[in-house]
């Protein structure tokens, strides 16, 4: 065929396109792994199991469902805080735990007068 203009650069196109596809696949994979790590930490800090972040992989619209769970449910951390507040209220307002003080005792402040500034010389 004398008119072979389309086949002159065709050997570089498949190599270039496969390299672009590979780079895009690596970026997508890295994004998914980073997203799972981020959500794992969020769920762990709220008191839920970090494995809930894997819902994103298996359930379509998993992010939306988990966002609703986080928004409208009582977190285990909040539940524990409310329980501790109720226990503190039952003990009474004047209760303090002397065996475990919250702050170490401080020494009283001394009433030292700072030294006077040196006299200024006129220029």
Please give the residue range of the domain that contains residue 23: 13-90
Domains of the chain: total: 1
* Residue 72 maps to a domain: yes
Q: What are the C-alpha distances in Å from 14 to residues 10, 27, 45, 54? A: 7, 20, 47, 35
* Residue 106 maps to a domain: no
* Residue 33 maps to a domain: yes
* Residue 59 maps to a domain: yes
pLDDT at 23: 95
Mean pLDDT of successive 10-residue stretches along the chain, which has 123 residues: 52 81 95 91 89 84 85 89 88 65 67 70 69
* Residue 34 maps to a domain: yes
pLDDT at 8: 52
Residues 6+ apart with CB under 8 A from 48: 75, 76
């Amino acid at each position: 065929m004398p008119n072979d203009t389309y086949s002159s650069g065709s050997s570089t196109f498949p190599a270039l396109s496969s390299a672009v596809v590979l780079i895009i696949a690596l970026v997508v994979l890295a994004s998914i792994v980073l997203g799972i790590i981020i959500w794992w930490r969020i769920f762990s800090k709220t008191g839920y199991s970090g494995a809930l972040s894997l819902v994103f992989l298996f359930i379509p619209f998993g992010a939306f469902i988990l966002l609703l769970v986080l928004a409208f449910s009582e977190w285990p951390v909040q539940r524990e805080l409310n329980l501790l507040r109720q226990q503190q209220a039952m003990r009474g307002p004047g209760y303090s735990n002397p065996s475990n003080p919250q702050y170490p005792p401080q020494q009283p402040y001394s009433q030292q007068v700072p030294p006077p500034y040196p006299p200024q010389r006129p220029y």
